[in-house]
Amino acid sequence: MSTVRAKKHLGQHFLNDKNAAQKIVDALNPTLGFTQVLEVGPGMGVLSDFLLQNSAYETWMIDVDDESIEFLADKYPQLEHRLIHGDFLTLDFAKHFDEKIAIIGNFPYNISSQILFKILDERNRVVQMTGMFQKEVAERCTAKAGSKEYGILSVFLQAYYHVEYLFTVKAGAFNPPPKVLSGVIRMTRNDRQELDCDEKLFWRVVKSAFNQRRKTLRNSLSAVITKDKMSDNPLYELRAERLTVNDFTVLTNEIAGEL
């Protein structure tokens, strides 16, 4: 097979800018202790070519597309047992990978959030991720408290990862070109093994706060805790986008004590 057709329903836009591909691969930091690198949605292998040049990495690939799998199997016969035909979102990491792994990819834009939440689910194994998303999503991942882009995804990711915006990639670097700009980010696992609060309640508090982001928390969190149980903590007088991860942790502990 000489080529792979990009499929709209899979959100495929194949990167053809080798300079951008090299920069994405170079952004990985093997000093974090991983040797296994999983590429998600490799397509026709533009990132893969640079990954495989680094002998320090044990490169794995996963793709749900039949054509891509056939193309990659022909192109990289040495990856016979490390080429997974399947859905990343349902992948059993423990079956294939060590305690530490890095993830890389030009990720399908139509399932960006699902991919990021899957990485969060595997946060005790995934020590780093570098990859391409729609620029708007990349900016949400890296947004800081107080900005309009800051939201649920920002808080959840930054609770466990140091997230950096690396560079922007124009539409012409892809085939077919998307209708939006793309952004490359790097997520590196931080030292927080677990939150200093009830994690399920933390998720609930954050989601409730941002679901009514124009309201102050005293109003937006009324579905989590009744107003008569809220203290005079000044955090309740702020909107969700003003709170850092630590602020949400403090508030979650306070709410837990009242429930």
pLDDT of residue 11: 63
Q: pLDDT tens-digit profile of 60-104? A: 999 998 898 998 999 999 998 999 999 999 999 999 998 899 999
Q: Which two tokens stand for residue 90?
A: 């349902």
Residue whose entry in the numeric block shows the structure tokens 């305690």: 99
Q: What are the distances in angstroms from CA 240 to CA 114, 201, 205, 224, 243?
A: 22, 16, 10, 14, 6
The CATH architecture assigned to 199-256 reads Orthogonal Bundle (1.10)
Looking at domain 8-189, its CATH class is: alpha beta
Per-residue pLDDT at 12 = 63
pLDDT score, position 123: 96
Q: Which segments of the chain belong to CATH 1.10.8.100?
A: 199-256
For position 9, what pLDDT does the model report? 74
The residue ranges of the chain whose pLDDT is under 70 are 1-2, 6-7, 10-12
The pLDDT value given to residue 44: 86
Q: Where in the chain is the domain with CATH 3.40.50.150?
A: 8-189
pLDDT given at position 118: 98
> What distance in Å separates the CA atoms of residue 256 and residue 252, rounded to the nearest whole number?
6
Residue 197 DSSP symbol: S
